[in-house]
Structure 1
């Protein structure tokens, strides 16, 4: 019986007889076609690498191709299970995976990808039973010290303390995390984490993460989720629901993209969820949320489709006066023009080496932005150090005639950007 890391699986003989199809002369078709089997001439390691991109069920099926292929599937360095029936407790599917793991050679496992195609269910008993079939496969992969793990299961909580210390990449889809922190301190080599369509109601902590992607997710409201990953160099955050997470400092950050969904409801600093916006200042709260943690980035994209735009957490964070000393490329959308262009002016004055500025504006969504006419023309005495570095300014809006575009041009001019340097699309 084959095993990996001490894990073994007793099952029936699902694969018995599959190779017997080769008893007939396996080379007959090749000879009849008068062709040469060039694929089988490749080394075993290369064939197994190619097979690692197949679903495990398809990789096993290659055993009927020729005598050479009978046992190649046993050493494929990937486990890819993407069969919805496997998660419904179907005897045949579960037995197949159990047999696969039982017969697999004790060779390295580079990737484990276990996905369910079934939808979220309110049937807790079904979810527990379905996960009972999947959990041994997950434990097998972790016992093999797999470096890349992908898990997709509808709204199931997984005990992340099981995660191997050898894991380098982790992808979590449609999972729910609540009740305790996602603390990856025991997994010191984890560099890439992707979370898609997850419910994240816990803090996320990691010292080793280099790349973090969280998209199409929901966060909780009380308390606000905290993300502490000080060694990130790439960060993408695109939640669709809940309060934006509290971001700790990321001094090594190179590129970050933040897009807050329309259901990412923010509260005024007065603390009243029903407040439509008042004069409360950041001093009424004892923490900044996002921008201070992102202030070390070189390339930054900050967009929001939250309503109302003037209550965007991005704009509220500006009252903490973060300085963007490394920022060279910046993309903003409508939130930066609210309340007399507060966001735009702030970045112009607090990004001393900014080289590229892109404003992506949907003018059809603009309502009352409390805009005041900006008087005067370009004054050389008002030009800031910004003009020494800013080379590319692009306004994407579909029109050059809108009053918003006209006033943005005046603001840029007042900060030393000549009109001929502004490109409007």
Structure 2
């Protein structure tokens, strides 16, 4: 038998002889491997390889990726149309579409977006028809007539898009991950198979609170710039969740809000916390002291699996109502982090003799609690830090478990 070391030495020798003789090593590779390498190129560049040699003249036709980066409005060379017409009907691993056109101030934004979508739509339909597994779209468009129907699509990444119709991914039976960046969402989201959802930037509707129904989520991140926090249905498999609420003052508590069915009524349901109650790791942040999180506390969800929790300044309002609640309803909590390092308009200073904290109901924290981190930066003398310490002591958290940073 030939040893691995002997084979390695022989291959090195062959490579050195090939380099010395000027032999084309790349052309010696099988077609499938060359096409895999070409799949990382923009489609325009992959097509250009046809001029290298006769063997390369048709390799681009079976590359398992479409990567379009064009001015989708003003581009008139019909490259995309010809690419789709001439390409062999082999399955796609990736379809990546990026609009690089510049939105002129003189153009009508709706017309601009409509033209861009008209350029994108045929490519999207082609990708779905050819069993695409990963779909990425970055373009200022308003999809209105495209339905994602696929039994192969596993990951979708969308950027700068606006959705006014329902995002129903029920027909995407194996869709695992959905990432939306700087998208404006005025519609509910449904997906049974989805396990990872990441929505950052962009906005939700300011008047209608829409649903997110994804019962098999394992990880969730919501960080919009504005709008009403969506209503989260039950997520029993959830492990890690981070929700940033950006609701304005006039939206929280018992404000009258329009619902998806068109009626207007007082909210009588948990918006966020019940849906997140199965999480093991949880981050809840809001710049609004009267946040949707405080509104949800009255429904008394129990966080029976929660081990790691991060809260910011919203939890200090109402005599630390939010913080006390989680101490009382998280029986196996291990690590609690309070982010209090956000400056207030007017700094408050107190002395120990000036304020007493007398909780309405004392309770012992989780016996599993290992540490409480209070992140205050240069604001260690802020009143909220002092009050947080008083509250923690009153609820049985010993000083040796508190770390002020």
Uncovered stretches (5+) of structure 2, i.e. residues with no partner: 1-16, 258-264
Task: Specify the SS of the correspondent of 1:189.
Answer: coil
Out of 379, 389, 400, the residue aligned to residue 409 of structure 1 is 389
Relative distance call for 1:366 and 1:253 in structure 2 (3 A) is farther
Q: Report deviation, 1:205.
A: 1.3
TM-score (norm: length of structure 1): 0.79
Find the partner of 2:118 among 123, 127, 132: 132
Whether 1:224 aligns to 2:209 is yes
Q: CA deviation at 1:33?
A: 8.4
2:30 is aligned, of 43, 47, 72, to 43
SS state at 1:154 partner: coil
Q: Point out the more displaced range, 61-70 or 166-175.
A: 61-70
Q: CA RMSD in A?
A: 3.0
Asked if residue 356 in structure 1 is aligned to residue 335 in structure 2, the reply is yes
Query: Higher mean Cα deviation, 336-345 or 407-416?
Result: 407-416
Residues 413 and 175 of structure 1: CA distance in aligned 2, closer, same or farther (over 3 Å): same
- On the 8 A contact 1:267/1:311 being kept in 2, the answer is no
Aligned to 1:7: none
Query: Does the CA contact (< 8 Å) of 2:70 and 2:101 recur in 1?
Result: no
* Rounded Cα–Cα distance in structure 2 between residues aligned with 1:132 and 1:376: 64
Structure 1 residues not aligned, in runs of 5+: 1-29, 274-282
Distance 1:376 1:159 in 2: 59
Q: Which residue of 1 aligns with 2:401?
A: 421
SS in 2 for 1:118: coil
Change (3 A) 1:272 1:321: same
Instruction: Give the deviation of 1:119 after TM superposition.
Output: 5.1
Measured in 1, the distance between the counterparts of 2:312 and 2:110 equals: 42
The answer (yes or no) to whether the contact 1:266–1:312 under 8 Å persists in 2 is: no
Check 1:384–1:195 CA distance in 2 against 1; reply closer, same or farther (3 A cut). same
The equivalent of 2:278 in structure 1 is 296
Deviation at 1:299, TM superposition (A): 0.6
1:239-318 aligned at under 5 Å gives the runs: 239-261=224-246, 264=248, 267-271=251-255, 285-305=267-287, 309-318=288-297
SS in 1 for 2:222: strand
For residues 338 and 36 of structure 1, what CA distance do their matches in structure 2 show? Answer: 74
Corresponding position of 2:369: 390
Contact 2:42-2:67 at 8 Å conserved across structures: yes
How many residue pairs get aligned? The number is 374
Distance 1:215 1:382 in 2: 38
Distance 1:62 1:413 in 2: 70
Label 1:376 to 1:319 Cα distance change in 2 as closer, same or farther (>3 A). closer
Which of 91, 115, 120 is the matching residue for 2:98?
A: 115
Asked if 1:373 is matched to 2:360, the reply is no
Task: Choose from 167, 171, 177 the match for 2:163.
Answer: 177
Instruction: Find the residue that maps to 2:343 and give its secondary structure.
Output: helix
